[in-house]
Structure 1
Amino acid sequence: MTNAAKNRSYALPLDIEPMEAKLVNSLPDQKGWQFEPKWDGFRCLAFKEGSVVDLRAKSGKPLGRYFPEMLSLLKDLPVKRFVVDGELVVEAGGYLSFETLQMRLHPAERRIRKLSTTHPAKLVLFDILADSNGCSQLKEPFERRRELLEDLLGPFVLKNRLALSPYTKSAQTAEEWLAKAGADGFDGVVCKRLDGVYETGERAMIKVKRLRTADCVIGGFRYGSRSDKVGSLLLGLYNKEGKLDHVGFTSSIRDRERAELTEKLEALREPPGFTGKKPGGPSRWSTERTGEWEPLKPDLVVEVRFDHVTGRRFRHGTTLVRWRPDKKPRQCDYEQIDQAIMVDPTF
């Protein structure tokens, strides 16, 4: 971000947290809801004030240096100011690719510039937080905010660059979308109350996904049996007291990635790792090294797929879906799996 951007006063503070969604198992069956695809990308708040633009991830970290083409696009729009909420996505081979999107978080500016040309990002917009006059819209009902978003930026939609998220008010159509989730770059449906205000940092929306996934903090790791390479990652979620509880593990790490990942994890070793419930050590029946664990500084976030939750823990090992460098560790809490706990008959 330039000095001009740092010193610029936007309509809303740059550290404002986006409104989030709580995972549930089914779509609401009453009226008063709008349904949208849940896009498989980086959540992004875009701020514009005059010729200065700033992009922020869900974690609050700046994204602008990784998406220079999006900064240029928004800067050139004939709208002087706004704060909008959306999702950054990247297409590869005719499909939206999260893996290609992650490649943009690269330290080398030359690499970023090349990717911004070969695989330019697209911003899918779905909400507005401040209008062209710099007035906050947080207290306006969502239905009104959507209308304002369409009026303000709808005329400037560009194919493959800037889009308004499609939506429906039909639960039947939303069910059809859900049946197709996992294709076309979305992995579920987000449900928004038409009369709902924008509740920053709160899980005020709901989401339904075909697969159960959760974002977890890596609080520690175990070496593989008779190996100096990582064998499993220890997963954590923050409880209401703000302590990190151990909730399970994932060992679905690709062999070709173990050496590099081990090096990365060893550089982050720092006790205590988990500040709440901790992993158990080796039992009296086993003294193998795999029972021991290495505590980590809680910096890394990973998305895992799980089946059942028992006793507020994943009952079985989980499957590693992807790393989430765009997510703040403190955002990884039990609310993500509360619904799974409620409906799991084994709890």
Structure 2
Amino acid sequence: MDLPVMPPVRPMLAKSAASIPAGMHYEAKWDGFRAIVFRDGAEIELGSRTTKSLTRYFPELVAALAERLPERCVLDGEIVIARDGRLDFDALTERIHPAASRVNTLAERTPASFVAFDVLALGDESLVDAPLTERRRRLEEALADASAPVHVAPATTDAELAGRWFEQFEGAGLDGVVAKPLDLRYRQDERLMFKIKHERTADCVVAGYRFHKSGPVVGSLLLGLYDDAGALQHVGVCAAFTMKRRTELIAELEPLRMEDPSDGEGHPWAAWTDEAAHAAKRMPGATSRWTGKKDLSWVALRPELVAEVAYEHMERGARGERGANGARFRHTARFRRWRPDRTPDSCTYAQLEESMRFDLADVLR
């Protein structure tokens, strides 16, 4: 491979903003795997945000890119998978599997798409020092004849329209809007763009905690919500504590501390060490290809405390419901406050706000 921009490339990043800034270039924020695509004739490489190769995990996408991209180019974009008209991040994570046979089966069952939103090189020309307006024009020209599963990300300079996208596109699984200065040059690994993401709050049961990597202080609180059957489902963790606060929490939570929940003292997640039990109830501690040999142990608490946490959006489970194997927080939630006025049994999935349904196909059109 011999391109004017060579791997590895770390993609340009965004910093959070509270609202949509005026006078910029706007795109939807995709919820997938960020990828830099390098093509030099028959050679195609998909580089991840951390520069690791994603190529072997998406064989169907490599074949589509070979048919639809210019002979020599470097593109920045997102690998996504759609299921039932909305983005499905779980289906993406399933692809990171060591067995080629499994990857190939999933490639047929849930094929991936690539949404391009920037171009770093075309032919023998590097475009990293060109302003965003020029790169966008060149991207649209280069992919003018592209077809599914290769798409150009919808974009606008109309802040009002971007605001409507922010509200509507969430229903298709997108998680906000990205704003980019019109004269922005491409700078690797620098936070020069702005991301505006949805934030909501939920009252959750605190049923345990994990230690911080630095020592015997609280790292994160384990959160749960009750489903329609009355089972407490693990929905994620919250953090965002100062080191002083992490130390204080150890003492504050001590009266609720239980022995190892696997000893079966009546904790709702007592069976967490039994891998088979995770199929029936979402609990902390399930091993996966992401966690590997990581220590997943945790300290059990009597599920009596309620915390209000802020979150961006929920991930659906394999069956799309919010009960067993149902939704959980897509990212680490942020602790807001204790809720002594709420009882644990009132912390159910019913409190979660539903976004209006919006078909992903309409976004890409």
TM-score w.r.t. length of structure 2: 0.61
Is the Cα contact below 8 Å between 2:95 and 2:103 reproduced in 1? yes
Is the Cα contact below 8 Å between 1:249 and 1:318 reproduced in 2? no
Q: Does 1:146 align with 2:136?
A: yes
Give, in angstroms, the shift of residue 285 of structure 1: 8.5
Aligned mates of 2:212, 2:170 — CA distance in 1:
24
Match of 1:345 in 2: none
Q: 1:249 aligns with which of 193, 208, 221?
A: 221
Cα–Cα, structure 1 residues 16 and 197, in superposed 2: closer, same or farther, change >3 Å? same
TM-superposition CA deviations, 1:216-250 (whole Å, max 9, x none): xxxxxxxx97xxxxx335678xxxxxxxx977534
Is the Cα contact below 8 Å between 2:210 and 2:219 reproduced in 1? no
Match of 1:162 in 2: 150
Is the Cα contact below 8 Å between 1:104 and 1:112 reproduced in 2? yes
Give, in angstroms, the shift of residue 9 of structure 1: 3.9
Summarize the alignment of residues 267-346 of structure 1 with structure 2, pairs less than 5 Å apart: 279-280=246-247, 282-283=250-251, 286=254, 321=314
Aligned mates of 2:212, 2:120 — CA distance in 1:
34
Cα–Cα, structure 1 residues 165 and 113, in superposed 2: closer, same or farther, change >3 Å? same
Q: Does 1:183 align with 2:171?
A: yes
Cα–Cα, structure 1 residues 234 and 99, in superposed 2: closer, same or farther, change >3 Å? farther
Q: CA RMSD in A?
A: 3.8
The SS at the match of 2:119 is strand
Q: 2:17 aligns with which of 24, 36, 44?
A: 24
Match of 1:232 in 2: 209
Aligned mates of 2:225, 2:34 — CA distance in 1:
26
Structure possessing the higher radius of gyration over alpha carbons: 2
Give, in angstroms, the shift of residue 171 of structure 1: 0.7
Unmatched runs of 5 consecutive residues or more in structure 1 = 1-7, 214-223, 226-230, 237-244, 262-275, 293-298, 301-314, 323-336, 341-347
TM-score w.r.t. length of structure 1: 0.64
Summarize the alignment of residues 199-218 of structure 1 with structure 2, pairs less than 5 Å apart: 199-211=187-199
TM-superposition CA deviations, 1:93-125 (whole Å, max 9, x none): 232211222221222211111111121111000
How many residue pairs end up in the alignment?
Answer: 258
Is the Cα contact below 8 Å between 2:178 and 2:196 reproduced in 1? yes
Unmatched runs of 5 consecutive residues or more in structure 2 = 237-242, 261-289, 292-306, 316-333, 337-365
Cα–Cα, structure 1 residues 150 and 291, in superposed 2: closer, same or farther, change >3 Å? farther
Aligned mates of 1:235, 1:13 — CA distance in 2:
38
Aligned mates of 1:63, 1:127 — CA distance in 2:
19
Aligned mates of 1:164, 1:284 — CA distance in 2:
51
Aligned mates of 1:141, 1:291 — CA distance in 2:
59
TM-superposition CA deviations, 1:3-50 (whole Å, max 9, x none): xxxxx3443232221011111111113x2x111111111111101112
Q: Tell me the amino acid that sits aligned with residue 184 of structure 1.
A: A
Cα–Cα, structure 1 residues 283 and 192, in superposed 2: closer, same or farther, change >3 Å? same
Q: Does 1:130 align with 2:121?
A: yes
Cα–Cα, structure 1 residues 287 and 78, in superposed 2: closer, same or farther, change >3 Å? closer
Q: Percentage identity across aligned positions?
A: 31
